[in-house]
Chain A
Amino acid sequence: MSSTYEVTDSAKPHLPGESGVWMFIIGDVLIFSLLFSVFVYDRSQEVALFIEQQQLLNQTFGLVNTLLLLTSSWLVALAVHGARTGHLSQARGCFVLAILGGIGFVVIKYFEWSEKLTADLTIETNNFFMYYYLMTGIHLMHMFIGIGVLVFLWQCVRDAEFNTQGMGVLESGACFWPLVDIVWIALFALLYLMR
């Protein structure tokens, strides 16, 4: 594994970031897959309850959050592209907007959880809400880490001396955000939509 990072020319297949970061991402996806499998199994034991309880979720919150994260991931891709092509002000702007998208997600999640908690739906109500809080909670933890990573990347491109040498760090960090996005989409489908 080489410690220097080269920007490959676009004709060659190119794995964004360094290979080590993909180990983390695949490991994390593995654990989420395990969690989702356990959810699907437990759901199959109590299908009626899960479908009935699912009606209590607010699909609008879920959908808005999905759109926020998708937009935010797209902005991160634009930011990385901007940094690679030397448009640093575009990269900075896109990172700020992506971070705001992430914060927006957290704020909506706060309102969504408060709505559930005031309706006396807690982690101990039943198995459906146990999974609801656990899965959205573990995802929220990833959101906080992801926002932290984005702030760090934003700081990187604010540096006037940023150049393509820094692309390795930038790409490695930027790979994490779509992971958070993809996990959310799977989670949205399983919790909010699956019938």
Chain B
Amino acid sequence: MNIRNQLICAWSAVGFASICLAGFLFANFIPPISPNLSAEEVAAIYSENVLSMRFGILLIMSSAGFICSFAAALAVQMKRIEGDLAPFTYAQLGAGCISTLVFVFAGVFWTGAAFRPDHDPELTRMLNDLGWITLLMTFAPFIIQNIALGLCILSDKQANPVFARWVGYYNLWVAVLFVPGGLLTFFKTGPFAWDGLFVWWVPFAVFFTWYLVMFYILLGAIKRQAQSEPTVAA
């Protein structure tokens, strides 16, 4: 039973990544709406595609809950490393669950912009700004999730470690890549604006790749547990 429950939670990574990415495509958010546009230009984008954007944003918000169940699946395997006193496990789980809110609140602001396409363009742009800022400047929970997971994996002293050690270093590296998001507050153009290379393209690619990589790694860990502890699998 336990293995099956773990697998259900692990598969939520695929649910999250596919639904969320589909949402970004429907909302026409790839590439992002430039922070350098005038209020009228932003309002025009929203009023031209309003139905598709509403639907895309709805998908992004719907996908967010899966982040929690995937963090839970990771936590179960992390607890096999840490045992009962498991601070990294709880830090990962807590930070992972909080990061759900990033997608929920970004969606709330974008929906606010798309909800009344006829309102003052300044308001549309402000809500659009808030959506992107919420999505990309909120690196804090994501890096704690990655660092907690990375340090936990590296602290594994068992003869047959739950995860391969490179996965630990991979997570530390991913954490570093999310930090530049904080710089978007200074820029409207260039590589550190919210549509730039280091705030959007690199973190976006790394984030979704992380879900697929960790999904694959997690399936391996669950499979090894099922083989080595048949009682859990029963």
Q: Which A residues are within 8 Å of any B CB, using their own CB?
A: 1, 3, 18-21, 23-24, 27-28, 31, 34-35, 38, 42, 123-124, 127, 130, 134, 138, 141
- Does B226 reach chain A (CB closer than 8 Å)? no
Given the contacts A42-B190, A124-B186, A127-B190, A27 and B165 also touching, CB distance less than 8 Å: no
Q: How large is the interface on B (under 10, 10 to 19, 20 to 34, 35 or more residues)?
A: 20 to 34
CB-contact partner of A130 in B170, B176, B190, under 8 A = B190
Residues of B near any A CB (own CB < 8 A)? 156-159, 161, 164-166, 168-170, 172-173, 176-177, 179-180, 183, 186-187, 190-192, 197-198, 202
B190 and A23 contact, CB distance less than 8 A:
no
A1→B164 CA distance, assembly (Å): 7
- Contact check: which of B166, B190, B191 meets A1 at CB < 8 Å? B166
Who on chain A is nearest to B186 by CB? A123
Bound CA span A152–B169, Å: 17
Please name the residue on chain B nearest to A138 by beta carbon: B180
Chain A residue nearest in CB terms to B168: A20
Known: A34-B202, A42-B190. A23 touches B161 (CB 8 A): no
A-B contacts, CB under 8 A, total:
52
Once A19-B166, A20-B168, A124-B186 are accepted as A-B contacts, the answer to whether A3 and B161 lie under 8 Å apart by CB is yes
Asked, given contacts A130-B190, A134-B183, A134-B192, whether A27 binds B173 with beta carbons under 8 Å apart, the answer is yes
Chain A residues within 8 Å of B198, by CB: 34-35
Extra pairs beyond A20-B165, A35-B198 (12, CB < 8 Å): A3-B158, A3-B165, A19-B166, A20-B164, A21-B169, A23-B166, A23-B170, A23-B173, A24-B170, A35-B191, A38-B191, A42-B191
Nearest-neighbour CB distance to chain B for A49, whole angstroms, equals 14
